[in-house]
Structure 1
């Protein structure tokens, strides 16, 4: 019983962080208050570095695969760190990446305990 509750909380953290990253990406591309025009290469690079890892994390959470969660963190971390060091709302990308790592660590702890 306790394991299913803990696993549900981890899944909730994972899904929320994935959705938050996608939502922030939409703001970054379409409503960016810091840039008037976003060029095509920025859209593609940011999608590959922010949206695809969010999707990978959601897949890893739904399939209970910690390796996919770790890969999502490793993949998103460099770009998220860059975004974290910028001013404004896009600092939250760093937090979403750290939430990916939190999901991985908590999932591994539960797997070891049970």
Structure 2
């Protein structure tokens, strides 16, 4: 499960960074990019993605949980907008799935 979590975490982080680049530099819904929007979304979307990628390589589940919680509010906000940027919720949810993949399995004892 850890390998799946690692792969999903890296893919989700890269996908989120790709969407952030589209949002800031190639946004079809605005004529020009605002510097404030770029800075705010960098701290709320791009940095959690970098943290998720780092967490995937280090197999640190608590860092993945931090990335999920950190990106959740703006991901929920952007999810309600029309267009391609509603997809920001997918990496956010994937961060939580990766957190669950990094959690140790609970082994049930079988009593005969």
Question: When the two structures are superposed, what TM-score results if normalisation uses the length of structure 1?
Answer: 0.89
The RMSD of aligned alpha carbons is 1.1
Question: Greater CA radius of gyration, 1 or 2?
Answer: 2
| Large movers: runs of 4+ above 2 Å | none
The one of 9, 26, 43 aligned to 2:4? 9
- Per the normalisation by structure 2, the TM-score is 0.91
- The 5 A counterparts of 1:92-103 are 92-103=87-98
1:49 aligned to 2:44?
A: yes
State the aligned residue count.
107
| Structure 1 stretches lacking a partner, 5+ long | 1-5
Match of residue 23 from structure 1: 18
Which of 77, 80, 83 is the aligned partner of 2:75?
Answer: 80
